[in-house]
């Protein structure tokens, strides 16, 4: 086994742990811990809503299709129900892109000048 092959698992573990937390200074999501805070305030969400936010936070400002969201949250145990997904999206106030999918947009903060 080469040195590169032995180093790969460690690098993958580091990459995975970096992906387990989304933090932009305003919104923090700890995917594995089912924890979310906004502006320093902890937010409790039902599991389904948390999973939707969690999936969207993994690709902020990029569209995620309804099928991809459904698969992430419900898996293959339930057939896609777009109307049901829309109810959750509406509750979470997530941007819907017609015929594309959904994306999480965060407010841009103004750069502070000294």
pLDDT at 14: 38
Q: What's the confidence (pLDDT) of residue 42?
A: 94
- Residue 93 has a pLDDT of 80
pLDDT under 70: residue ranges of the chain = 1-18, 106-114
41 strand-pairing partners: 38
Domains of the chain are 3-103 (1.10.10.10)
Q: pTM score > 0.85 for this model? A: no
CB 58 within 8 A of CB 97: no
The pLDDT value recorded for residue 5 is: 42
Cβ atoms of residues 15 and 58 within 8 Å? no
Contacts 24+ apart (CB under 8 A), 37-44: none
């Amino acid at each position: 086994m080469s040195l590169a092959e032995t180093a790969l698992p460690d690098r993958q573990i580091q990459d995975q742990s970096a992906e387990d937390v989304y933090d932009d200074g305003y919104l923090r999501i700890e995917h594995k811990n089912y924890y979310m805070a906004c502006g320093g305030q902890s937010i409790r969400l039902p599991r389904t809503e948390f999973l939707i936010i969690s999936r969207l936070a993994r690709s902020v400002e990029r569209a995620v299709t309804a099928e991809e969201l459904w698969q992430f949250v419900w898996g293959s145990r339930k057939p896609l129900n777009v109307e049901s997904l829309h109810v959750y999206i509406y509750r979470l106030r997530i941007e819907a892109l017609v015929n594309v999918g959904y994306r999480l947009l965060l407010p841009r903060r103004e750069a502070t000048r000294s």
